């Protein structure tokens, strides 16, 4: 049995939940604890080829490759108010309201930040693996790493770690459970250490400052000229940065003292969306509108396929492409690309803030790794007349509600009332001439579309030309989907009311894999 102990030295935890900067992350996510150990490794070695550094790396790689996820012992908490702080950012030349007194001409602009924190009923927590036998050399390395850890979470969340010598006396308060989880926690998986090392960017930063030192040393003009040339060619005279980690695997957990929550039905899409922000790079427009959904989803899809064809060639599975090996359309659920517009708020304007990928519930870990490899190669979308837009992770410090999965999925308890954000596109051409009969025919198509994605038919369907959400354009403003014979498919907005709560994402109709038929909860 392996057990890692954590003592929060101030009796308080300061760590923000990935889905909300104002909510405390508790119990501590296994990935966060692993990152603390990795930080201790990276920050306390000069020579990474030394025996001690190699032993620590081997121990971390051993830990991330464990098939079993840890049980957790953690006490109850009392959340504290998330107070706004104004913290200094990087030094900038020029004037600001907070000049550095000891360095005239240098200032530190301060930005508002909220840090979620909570008091702990017990300042000690444990992560433990019941069915793991730890080799002696791994235990020694982990023991040394734990002794070097100073914080878990924010820099003021001071902590002490150790390798627990009597793990058999521990009782879990949280257990891994993917069947009826009440919480999703981030975990470390194979390749996490290598990923964190790339994000830490140590080699590039050390190379930059080494060249910068030579470029400012006038004692050797030839060497100085060569260093300046390399700084321009290699770094474009810009300081390389350390990138915050964003990709993570998740594991469901449930408390041992709680009754399992009633099972809430959901679609065949996973409720955890892969979210990306769109930022203007070169465009005459300040923002994109949700009516550009088809252009954006088509360009992202094509960009993924193009990057996969580049060297080294990546074979995309059916669960990503939506096509079988013989080229025929897949009958299985596959990855859908959906827009993320600013809607559903009294000041909403319908501008497109990002896109998300909805993955099938049975999406395998191998297919997920392939998808992440492809997405890592797509950093912008060239959209012709509407310009070029960068695509990347949203701001982790202050994520907008639009970028939160629960805004679109209503997880974990679900809601009954949903309404379309992008129009529903029927699989067939409605034949009714009478307006009332036409609406009933479309409502029947919507009910059938719900069964196709694995949920019960709604008890009520209201077919309307405009969305029930603020900021959404009318259905006729969206470009129509075109059939293979060149004819256009009709589309409409709708309100769907179910007999019992449903977990999203709800994507219905002929355009569900291309961004149309996206519904958002009406009950907030």
For the entire predicted model, the pTM comes to 0.57
- Asked if 140 and 281 sit in the same domain, the reply is no
> For the chain, what percent of residues have pLDDT higher than 90?
43
- Asked if 114 and 208 sit in the same domain, the reply is no
- Asked if 75 and 187 sit in the same domain, the reply is yes
Q: What is the mean pLDDT of residues 259-287?
A: 84
- Asked if 187 and 162 sit in the same domain, the reply is yes
85 assigned to some structural domain? yes
- Asked if 187 and 216 sit in the same domain, the reply is no
Instruction: Say how far apart CA 148 and CA 272 lie, in whole Å.
Output: 34
pLDDT of res. 74:
94
Domain CATH code at residue 315: 3.30.70
pLDDT of res. 472:
94
Residue 288, C-beta contacts closer than 8 angstroms, at least 6 positions apart:
278, 296, 351, 352, 383, 386, 389
Q: Mean pLDDT over all residues of the chain?
A: 85
Q: Is the pLDDT of residue 91 over 50?
A: no
pLDDT digit string (tens) for 311-340?
Answer: 566 788 888 888 888 878 888 899 999 999
pLDDT of res. 86:
61
- Asked if 122 and 70 sit in the same domain, the reply is yes
Q: Is the pLDDT of residue 45 over 90?
A: no
pLDDT of res. 127:
95
344 assigned to some structural domain? yes
Instruction: Say how far apart CA 139 and CA 131 lie, in whole Å.
Output: 15
pLDDT of res. 23:
80
Q: Is the pLDDT of residue 8 over 60?
A: yes
pLDDT of res. 113:
65
Q: What is the mean pLDDT of residues 385-407?
A: 79
- Asked if 357 and 482 sit in the same domain, the reply is no
Strand spans (E) along 393-456: 415-420, 424-425
342 assigned to some structural domain? yes
Q: Is the pLDDT of residue 94 over 60?
A: no
Q: How confident is the model at residue 464 (pLDDT cuts 50, 70, 90)?
A: very high
262 assigned to some structural domain? no
Tokens in use for 249? Answer: 């695997």
Q: How many distinct structural domains can be found in the chain?
A: 4
Closest CA to 142 of 43, 42, 46, 63: 63
Q: Is the pLDDT of residue 92 over 50?
A: no
Q: What is the mean pLDDT of residues 411-416?
A: 82
Please identify, among 405, 425, 458, the residue that sits at the C-terminal boundary of a domain.
405
323 assigned to some structural domain? yes
265 assigned to some structural domain? no
- Asked if 463 and 517 sit in the same domain, the reply is yes
- Asked if 12 and 46 sit in the same domain, the reply is yes
pLDDT of res. 463:
94
- Asked if 429 and 466 sit in the same domain, the reply is yes
pLDDT of res. 239:
85
pLDDT of res. 394:
77
Domain span including residue 179: 2-197
- Asked if 389 and 420 sit in the same domain, the reply is no
pLDDT digit string (tens) for 127-147?
Answer: 999 888 999 999 999 999 999
Q: Is the pLDDT of residue 466 over 70?
A: yes
pLDDT of res. 352:
93
| Burial environment of residue 284 by CB neighbours within 10 A (0 to 12, 13 to 18, 19 or more) | exposed
Q: Is the pLDDT of residue 233 over 60?
A: yes
SS (HEC) of 84-152: EEEEECCCEECCCCCECCCCCCEECCEEEEECCEEEECCCEEEEEECCCCCCHHHHHHHHHHHHHCCEC
Q: How confident is the model at residue 251 (pLDDT cuts 50, 70, 90)?
A: confident
Q: How confident is the model at residue 95 (pLDDT cuts 50, 70, 90)?
A: very low
- Asked if 386 and 481 sit in the same domain, the reply is no
225 assigned to some structural domain? yes
Closest CA to 453 of 512, 523, 520: 512
Q: How confident is the model at residue 398 (pLDDT cuts 50, 70, 90)?
A: low
252 assigned to some structural domain? no
């Amino acid at each position: 049995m392996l057990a890692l102990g954590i003592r929060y030295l101030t009796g308080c935890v300061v760590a923000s939940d990935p889905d909300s900067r104002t909510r405390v992350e508790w119990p501590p996510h296994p990935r966060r604890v692993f990152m603390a150990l990795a930080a201790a490794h990276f920050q306390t070695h000069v020579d990474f080829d030394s025996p001690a550094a190699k032993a620590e790396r081997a121990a971390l790689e051993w830990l991330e490759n464990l098939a079993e996820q840890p049980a957790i012992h953690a006490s109850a908490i009392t959340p504290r108010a998330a107070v706004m702080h104004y913290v200094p950012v990087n030094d900038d030349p020029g004037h600001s309201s907070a000049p550095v007194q000891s360095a005239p001409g240098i200032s530190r602009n301060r930005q508002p930040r909220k840090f979620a924190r909570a008091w702990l009923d017990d300042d000690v927590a444990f992560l433990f693996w019941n069915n793991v036998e730890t080799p002696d050399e791994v235990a020694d390395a982990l023991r040394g790493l734990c002794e070097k850890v100073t914080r878990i979470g924010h820099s003021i969340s001071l902590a002490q770690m150790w390798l627990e010598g009597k793990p058999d006396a521990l009782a879990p308060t949280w257990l891994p459970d993917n069947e009826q989880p009440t919480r999703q926690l981030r975990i470390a998986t194979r390749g996490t250490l290598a990923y964190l090392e790339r994000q830490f960017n140590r080699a590039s930063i050390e190379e930059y400052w080494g060249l910068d030192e030579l470029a400012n040393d006038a004692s050797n003009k030839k060497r100085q000229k060569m260093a300046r040339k390399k700084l321009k060619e290699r770094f474009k005279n810009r300081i390389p940065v350390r990138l915050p980690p964003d990709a993570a695997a998740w594991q469901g957990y449930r408390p041992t003292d709680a009754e399992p929550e009633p099972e809430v039905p959901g679609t065949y899409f996973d409720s955890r969306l892969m979210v990306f922000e769109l930022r203007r790079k070169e465009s005459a427009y300040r923002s994109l509108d949700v009516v550009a959904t088809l252009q954006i989803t088509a360009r992202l899809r094509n960009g993924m396929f193009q990057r996969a064809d580049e060297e080294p060639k990546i074979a995309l599975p059916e669960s990503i492409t939506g096509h079988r090996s013989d080229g025929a359309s897949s009958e299985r659920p596959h990855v859908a690309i959906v827009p993320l517009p600013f809607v559903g708020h009294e000041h909403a304007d319908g501008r497109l803030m990002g896109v998300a990928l909805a993955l099938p519930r049975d999406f395998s870990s191998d297919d997920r790794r392939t998808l992440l490899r492809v997405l890592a190669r797509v950093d912008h979308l060239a959209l012709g007349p509407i310009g070029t837009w960068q695509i990347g992770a949203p701001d982790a410090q202050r994520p907008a509600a639009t970028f939160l999965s629960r805004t679109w999925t209503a997880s974990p308890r679900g809601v009954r009332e949903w309404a379309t954000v992008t129009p529903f596109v029927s699989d067939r051409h409605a034949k009714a001439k009478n307006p009332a009969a036409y609406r009933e025919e479309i409502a029947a198509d919507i009910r059938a579309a719900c069964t196709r994605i694995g949920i019960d038919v709604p008890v009520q369907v209201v077919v309307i030309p405009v969305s029930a959400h603020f900021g959404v354009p009318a259905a006729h403003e969206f470009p129509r989907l075109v059939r293979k014979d060149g004819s256009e498919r009709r589309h409409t907005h709708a309100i769907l009311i179910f007999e019992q709560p449903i977990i999203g994402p709800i994507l219905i109709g002929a355009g569900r894999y291309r961004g149309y038929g996206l519904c958002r909860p009406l009950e907030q």
